[in-house]
């Protein structure tokens, strides 16, 4: 199987290298920025281009790993071919390819990717969707080579999976950033939090998140809540976040105990 990646960002870098590690052939990398395309292609020992017209026409699978806003700008400029075109976006419907490709679908790994952090995809949920039922077998073969957790999901369901992932990953990571900021303002390192973060993540393997919740908000400890709210007087945005989250934590806990 011959694979082309259209995009050379975090996801493309991690997934393409995992594909190569599992014996698949990545034949070409396209990226608008030549330096990025070349850098990834060197790691994969494959061809690269920064021109859409130079994308090879005879690949079996074309993986569009681009920003959501870039997909409708790039797709119309790729010459039609007989390959299967898939994108990796959580919130973009499959039919964005309609009218440009005969065979198309979605290959969405539910994971956070960074070029500096390499890891195996084994166990990562990969959600698939195809326009032609006969293409599901091929796409499942690719996904199963990377992960033992492969599922079919239509575009509407995938939108909600992506939304949940934003809460679980992106918003959580922002909380880490704000916590680190508070410590750094006091001359302390965010590394103090690492054991707590690790245990918090580990614990929800054994308990539902609501049952794992601790802290002043879930106890509705008004004295602590008010004092901590005042401590954030110099950070009005963080004050709003603190108050909103504290109220919601308590509301969710009480609502589920009624």
Q: Are 52 and 2 spatial neighbours (Cβ–Cβ below 8 Å)?
A: no
Superfamily of domain 2-153: NAD(P)-binding Rossmann-like Domain (3.40.50.720)
Would you give per-residue pLDDT tens digits along the chain (258 residues)?
A: 899 999 999 999 999 999 999 999 999 999 999 999 999 999 999 999 999 999 999 999 999 999 999 999 999 999 999 999 999 999 999 999 999 999 999 999 999 998 776 678 999 999 999 999 999 999 999 999 999 999 999 999 999 999 999 999 999 999 999 999 999 999 999 999 999 999 999 999 999 999 999 999 999 999 999 999 999 999 999 999 999 999 999 999 887 665
Question: Can you tell me the distance from the alpha carbon of 29 to that of 44, in angstroms, rounded to the nearest whole number?
Answer: 9
Q: Provide the β-strand partners of residue 151.
A: 127
Query: Would you kindly state where each structural domain of the chain is located, as residue ranges?
Result: 2-153, 154-203, 208-258
Superfamily of domain 154-203: ProC-like, C-terminal domain (1.10.1040.20)
Q: Are 42 and 99 spatial neighbours (Cβ–Cβ below 8 Å)?
A: no
Pairing of strands 2-6, 61-64: parallel
């Amino acid at each position: 199987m011959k694979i082309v990646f259209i995009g050379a960002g975090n996801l493309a870098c991690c997934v393409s290298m995992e594909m190569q590690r599992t014996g698949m052939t990545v034949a070409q990398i396209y990226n608008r920025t030549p330096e990025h395309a070349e850098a990834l292609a060197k790691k994969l020992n494959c061809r690269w281009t920064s021109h859409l017209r130079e994308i090879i026409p005879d690949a079996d699978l074309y993986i569009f790993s681009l920003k959501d806003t870039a997909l409708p700008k790039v797709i119309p400029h790729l010459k039609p071919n007989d390959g299967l075109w898939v994108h990796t976006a959580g919130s973009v419907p499959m039919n964005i390819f309609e009218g440009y490709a005969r065979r198309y679908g979605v290959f969405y790994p539910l994971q956070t990717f960074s070029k500096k952090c390499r890891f195996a995809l084994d166990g990562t949920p990969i959600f698939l969707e195809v326009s032609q039922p006969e293409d599901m077998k091929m796409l499942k073969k690719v996904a199963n080579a990377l992960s033992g957790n492969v599922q079919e999901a239509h575009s509407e369901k995938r939108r909600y999976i992506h939304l949940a992932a934003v809460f679980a990953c992106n918003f959580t990571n922002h909380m880490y950033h704000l916590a680190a900021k508070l410590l750094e303002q006091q001359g302390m390192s965010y590394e103090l939090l690492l054991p707590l973060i690790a245990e918090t993540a580990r614990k929800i393997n054994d308990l539902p998140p609501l049952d794992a919740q601790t802290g002043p908000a879930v106890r509705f400890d008004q004295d602590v809540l008010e004092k901590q709210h005042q401590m954030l007087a110099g950070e009005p945005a963080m004050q709003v976040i603190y108050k909103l989250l504290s109220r919601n934590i308590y509301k969710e806990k009480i609502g589920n105990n009624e």
